[in-house]
Structure 1
């Protein structure tokens, strides 16, 4: 193990050797998840891009790696006392399954509004679920209080030596599956996953560039790294609940300071577009946080030396959220076009407009009439249309055609 900084306040972070030991402990527990080249990402980046599918890991994310390792090392007395965790869902499921496998009682605090499938899966593994607060950070406060009152052992989602070491086993697999890799891109919330991967990768291949990705609305690492200490965010707003963490953990922060080359952020639109593309092109279901690495690649394909590996960190997504994200992703990709058009208020007026839209191979999804407006003439009606197109260029052609036909168009 490595101590970062000297003195009694030094932070212990795992070494490559620690991660290799962790791998032995996880044999038969975590899955050696598949990796395959993505042709569409490779074409975009101009070189080989491979997908590491941790969304196909047990419980649907990488979390079982760290949770099981941490809990397997508890003393008999600690196991009898039970464990407690705080999570929006992925760590909850990892803890719940590890507890089931090890015969430990688990209590999990989840923020209000946590995805229903994640809650049900956590209960399904035998954990007791309680709700507190509106973020993982608030749920963590309640979990710490529960640990203090009951003697249960807190299984932190990212800020522990064993958690980082366990997550680092994914980095060993990446190097085995793609020995020629030049860049590894992975998402980061609290940082345990990124820290573990970076430690393993740099321990074996110091030349490989490691890039972390955060959602713009929950990006605590850029400011923290700039100031040299973990700095909490004042507020967060992102659909990527799996990486919505307000403050880096001390252990992963120390490792990321040492081993990660760059942290980038991605917008909600980029996350939506990446999730949609993974569904359409890779046939893989991921949650918004799980698509963050791909979002970064799509935002700036030439920024990453290939061969590159993008890690899909999780696939536990609420179907209702998935529907909204797909719609959002289609809009971000120019596949949904929303506009207003003025048409004559006469029989057949709307039909003529719809025929013109059909003539340029666009599909009308919704039509809303507006008749009562001071800006309209007595013989006019305004309609708002939502139209499905094949992309930005097609949308531009649709609007150009309608304007050429004499329609007044506004967006």
Structure 2
């Protein structure tokens, strides 16, 4: 299997991240075992406890700390709808690097405010995300900034891989990991770690039924671009496959499943009730995937990742009231 990053790249990324934040916790909740059933022991890695409330602070910090002195002086830019921008903004503030974040017009105001709070310049441009990406590229050329893509950027994938490295060190008994998949940085980073440390660990991915581009590409081998992405789970609302992760995902995943938004919303409620952590949609999708995969993982110890907890107040109120956003 050919991977875009090596285990050594991930070790180097961890060394760069170490001064900035502590490893996220792994917890076992017996009530989750009961919920999932089939004798499965569920372990949860709380990436929602990291700075910015998401695993993407790993990606942002790994990218900012990988810049040359010249690149750091010119600054970075990215197109995002939230967590990627938050991670870069936080890391830029921590290292004193100028960060510009482009978001679509009408983007979540809570996430916009958080990005600005770290001193980043936030530009609302484009009615659709692809228009935002085009504007980001134009600004990068004008200002000579380094573009940090949320997936097609090797330091991003190496940073995401530090999550799996920590997980397997904290819980060496894990038999499988179930990972929510947007661009694929977490899953592909995990592949490099598993290949080096625990080749027997199975990796599973899960995506929303409303945003199936990655899943469909994994199934038929055809790259996707610009397909519909209709899900409240913003972190996995991707309509494209990505060059750096596409082949690795096809080679390295044991399976790839789709969960309905109704099921994802229920898992947000379940995680709140059992763990007293409020997961965003993507942060609850690992549990949704595990529930779909449970019969084939009977009796195993399975890790899931609460990859983010940045659920806006209105959506949280909707979900906790028993509703599914967008329906």
Which one has a bigger Cα radius of gyration? Answer: 1
SS in 2 for 1:104: coil
1:160-309 mapped onto 2 (5 Å cutoff): 160-305=153-298, 306-309=300-303
Alpha-carbon distance in structure 2 between the residues aligned to 1:300 and 1:245:
22
Contact 2:205 2:289 in 1 (8 A): no
Alpha-carbon distance in structure 1 between the residues aligned to 2:296 and 2:101:
40
Could you tell me which residue of structure 2 aligns to residue 320 of structure 1? Answer: 314
Match of 2:114 among 107, 118, 121: 121
1:59 aligns with 2:52: yes
SS in 1 for 2:308: coil
1:22-37 mapped onto 2 (5 Å cutoff): 22-37=13-28
SS in 2 for 1:239: coil
Contact 1:64 1:97 in 2 (8 A): yes
Aligned length: 322
Q: 1:288 to 1:309 in 2, by over 3 A?
A: same
Alpha-carbon distance in structure 1 between the residues aligned to 2:218 and 2:293:
22
Runs (4+) off by over 4 Å? none
Select the structure that is richer in strand.
Answer: 1
Match of 1:112 among 88, 95, 105: 105
What is the aligned-residue RMSD (CA, Å)? 1.9
Structure 2 residue runs without a partner (length 5+): none
Relative to structure 2, which stretch is displaced further, 297-306 or 167-176? Answer: 297-306
SS in 2 for 1:196: helix
Alpha-carbon distance in structure 2 between the residues aligned to 1:163 and 1:34:
21
Alpha-carbon distance in structure 2 between the residues aligned to 1:134 and 1:148:
21
Q: 1:199 to 1:290 in 2, by over 3 A?
A: same
Contact 2:43 2:304 in 1 (8 A): yes
Write the deviation string for residues 364-385 of structure 1: whole angstroms up to 9, x where unpaired.
xxxxxxxxxxxxxxxxxxxxxx
Deviation at 1:329, TM superposition (A): 4.8
When normalised by structure 2's length, the TM-score is 0.93
- Greater RCO (Cα-Cα under 8 Å, separation 6 or more): 2
Alpha-carbon distance in structure 1 between the residues aligned to 2:162 and 2:313:
30
Structure 1 residue runs without a partner (length 5+): 5-11, 332-411
